[in-house]
Amino acid sequence: MRILITGGAGFLGSHLAEAWLERGDDVTVLDPASDVKIRHLRANPKFRVIRESVLEHDILEGLVAWSDLVYHLAAVVGVEHYVGDPYQVLTVNINGTQEVLAAAFRHAKKVVFSSTSEIYGRNTAVPFHEDSDRVLGSTLIDRWCYATSKAAGEHFCFAFARMGLPVVVLRYFNVYGPRLDQMDRGRVVTIFMGQLLRGEPLTVIGDGSQTRAFTYVDDAVRATVEAGLRREVEGRAINVGSEEEVAIRELAARMIKLSGSSSRLISVAKEAVYDQGYEDIPRRVPSVRRMRELLGVRARVTLDDGLGRTIEWFKRQ
């Protein structure tokens, strides 16, 4: 098969590209970012990188026409962007998704859309089922622009599905693993990682009681490949995650223990890290029934195992 991965130079896309290449398929990545996460794939003759934006209409059109299956991962991701550049988040995540879906519709190609657990917002009724409510804060709080942009993307997916486009929505829950982000940047695991490897205190925001269900990247990729292959999931939204709920404070403690570091934990007020544009979510845990029943995938990698592998990878860098 010919696989197009928008945003394929990113963390999840790089692993997904690897998985499809291992199956013997052709993979093209459309992403303007540096190729540092996919450099190891460049020698493969079945692999190609186009360093352009999904917003480049003609390039996108040609690549969608070439492909058999489109994974739309391109997005502006990371809390620093939600609160720092909401315009870019909204533009790429909404307009880019509309462009990709419209091109796929014109060429009758299946799309797998990368959505997020952020969609559920601060709904407190965990675990989140795919039809659970979205509970979002005010539009005056910038952090909600990401969840809103992904929700708009989902609405576009379902609108195109009604018109006959084969499309699947995957809602990822805190995927982590090697190549996640640069140390100290982006998501909580990489921020802790930088502090850990320098022996500095791990900075937990607030009291650290907020929980997440972290999903090791190999499990997320298996689900993502299945979503591309299975016809019966078209038109559906599916949570992709692990049920292993952990408080951020406990995550930090486990990372310290697993790495053998002498770091300790400290609490910092959220105002010291983000300005008014930030609001944290107390609990975030998926119902994984659909992932199990529709995709035939269950998260196999435990948090300790996945964190151990991730710490080892970062230590080698």
Ligand X SMILES: NC(=O)c1ccc[n+]([C@@H]2O[C@H](COP(=O)([O-])OP(=O)(O)OC[C@H]3O[C@@H](n4cnc5c(N)ncnc54)[C@H](O)[C@@H]3O)[C@@H](O)[C@H]2O)c1
Note whether 225 binds ligand X by CB under 6 A.
no
Q: Is 146 one of the annotated active-site residues of the chain? A: yes
* DSSP codes, 210-256: -EEE-EEHHHHHHHHHHHHH-GGGTT-EEEE----EEEHHHHHHHHH
Give the DSSP letter of residue 179. T
Shortest distance, CB of residue 58 to ligand X, whole angstroms? 14
Note whether 174 binds ligand X by CB under 6 A.
yes
Assigned token pair, 117? 């657990």
Q: Which is nearer to ligand X, 78 or 201 (CB)?
A: 78
Identify the CA nearest to 124 among candidates 288, 285, 270. Answer: 285
Q: Which stretch binds ligand X (CB under 6 A): 169-177, 203-211, 225-233, 284-292?
A: 169-177
The correct pick among 71, 172, 192, 216 for binding ligand X (CB under 6 A) is 172
> Going residue by residue from 8 to 27, which x/- string records binding to ligand X, judged by CB under 6 A?
-xxxxx--------------
Cβ atoms within 10 Å, residue 142: 21
Q: Which stretch binds ligand X (CB under 6 A): 67-75, 200-208, 257-265, 298-306?
A: 67-75
The correct pick among 3, 4, 6, 255 for binding ligand X (CB under 6 A) is 6
Is the torsion defined by CA of 250, 287, 115, 140 positive or negative?
A: negative
How far is residue 177 from each of residues 110, 168, 316, measured CA to CA in Å? 27, 24, 14
Q: Which stretch binds ligand X (CB under 6 A): 70-78, 101-109, 272-280, 287-295?
A: 70-78
- Distance in Å from the first CA to the final CA of the chain: 33
Integer-rounded Cα radius of gyration of the chain:
19
Q: Which is nearer to ligand X, 239 or 259 (CB)?
A: 239
- Residues between 74 and 113 with contacts to ligand X, criterion CB under 6 A: 74-77, 92, 96
d(CA 95, CA 109): 19
Cβ atoms within 10 Å, residue 314: 19
The correct pick among 2, 19, 35, 55 for binding ligand X (CB under 6 A) is 55
Q: Which is nearer to ligand X, 8 or 263 (CB)?
A: 8
Is the torsion defined by CA of 256, 261, 267, 269 positive or negative?
A: negative
Give the DSSP letter of residue 128. B
Count the residues of the shown chain that bind ligand X, applying the rule CB under 6 A. Answer: 26
Shortest distance, CB of residue 175 to ligand X, whole angstroms? 4
Note whether 5 binds ligand X by CB under 6 A.
no
Note whether 114 binds ligand X by CB under 6 A.
yes
**What is the helix (H) or strand (E) element at residue 70, kind and residue range?**
strand 69-72
Identify the CA nearest to 1 among candidates 24, 18, 30. Answer: 24
Q: Which stretch binds ligand X (CB under 6 A): 38-46, 53-61, 122-130, 275-283?
A: 53-61
Which residue in the list 146, 172, 176, 274 is annotated as catalytic? 146
d(CA 170, CA 114): 5
Q: Which stretch binds ligand X (CB under 6 A): 69-77, 136-144, 189-197, 254-262?
A: 69-77
Reduce the DSSP state of residue 152 to 3 states and report it: helix
Note whether 153 binds ligand X by CB under 6 A.
no
Q: Which is nearer to ligand X, 54 or 238 (CB)?
A: 54
Residues labelled as active-site residues? 146
Binding interface with ligand X (CB under 6 A): 6-7, 9-13, 30-33, 53-55, 73-77, 92, 96, 114, 116, 172, 174-175
